[in-house]
Amino acid sequence: MRVVIADDEAPARQFLRRLLTSHNDVEIVGEAEDGTEVIGLVATAKPDVLFLDIQMPGGNGLEVAAGLMRHRPAIVFCTAYEQHAIEAFELEAVDYLLKPVSRSRLGQALDRIRRTDPAQPVPKAHERLSRFLARRGGNFVVIPASKAAYFESVDGLTKIVTVTGEAYWMDSPLQVLEQRLDAQRFFRVSRNALINLNEVAEVHPLPGGSAELLLRGGPRLEVSRRRYRSLLEVIEKS
């Protein structure tokens, strides 16, 4: 299995690296020191397994795990803190190791990964997303789903605009977001946009069967002809 180690402390990375060398099927394909670097490295190295520290600069481990969607390795949290375990499992972590980890405990975590089907760790469609990790400049921020006004696909990236009008970028395709968000609340109005229904202020029908939406914060978005009728149905039901 191909492994990435993410920890901001060099001795901690070194310790894991040494423990992992006694497992012949493990290949370490990269190491990262902060949240931003982890996301980049996972996207390029596409590891099977990510050993992830929680307290890190530039996006902590929980935020990183919440934000990995396009390529999602099996995640093993590795931390000195016990209190994040519940949240870690909500994020579908395979295991949660407490530092310093013993050889036998690490072996158990690896066995657990070996037993799972390597093709499986894609997030399950029914698992609802309640927050996202999005980027603006070099910083990552966590945005609760309730604060998202709409998502727009722009040049292969996804722009998220919050209810207060701030724009951030994320890596998840609209299709994945649509599957994993609450369908009562988020609606795909066109190929390029997914909106928060609570943010709809006005709907203006246009000639030809499409429409234009005005959201509370002021942005205007086009509703495709194909989606317009079901949008009206969803709005009436909610």
Partner 1 sequence: MRAQINPHFLFNALNAVAGCVGSRPDLAEDTLANLADVFRYVLSRSDKEWVRFSEEVAFIRAYLAVEQARFGTRLQVEFRHDEACLGMYIPAMIVQPLVENAIKHGCSKVVGIGKITIVATAMERGLVVTVADNGPGFPADYSSERSAGHGLRNVSDRMRGYYGDSRSIAWETGESGTTVSLTIPMMEHRECAS
Binding site for partner 1 (CB under 8 A): 8-15, 18, 34, 36, 55, 57-58, 80-81, 98-100, 138
Q: How far is the CB of 89 from partner 1 (least distance, A)?
A: 20
CB-wise, 11 or 208, nearer to partner 1? 11
3-state secondary structure labels for all residues of the chain: CEEEEECCCHHHHHHHHHHHHCCCCCEEEEEECCHHHHHHHHHHHCCCEEEECCCCCCCCHHHHHHHCCCCCCEEEEEECCCCCHHHHHHCCCCEEEECCCCHHHHHHHHHHHHHCCCCCCCCCCCCCCCEEEEEECCEEEEEEHHHEEEEEEECCEEEEEECCCCEEEECCCHHHHHHHCCCCCEEEEECCEEEEHHHEEEEEECCCCCEEEEECCCCEEEECHHHHHHHHHHHHHC
Q: How far is the CB of 49 from partner 1 (least distance, A)?
A: 19
CB-wise, 63 or 152, nearer to partner 1? 63
Q: How far is the CB of 38 from partner 1 (least distance, A)?
A: 12
CB-wise, 30 or 58, nearer to partner 1? 58
Cα distances (angstroms) measured from residue 183 to each of 15, 132, 186, 188, 197: 44, 16, 5, 9, 10
- At position 64, the amino acid (one-letter code) is V
CB-wise, 124 or 136, nearer to partner 1? 136
Residues ≥6 apart with Cβ < 8 Å to 119: none
CB-wise, 37 or 199, nearer to partner 1? 37
Q: How far is the CB of 45 from partner 1 (least distance, A)?
A: 20
Q: How far is the CB of 132 from partner 1 (least distance, A)?
A: 20
CB-wise, 10 or 167, nearer to partner 1? 10
Q: How far is the CB of 37 from partner 1 (least distance, A)?
A: 8
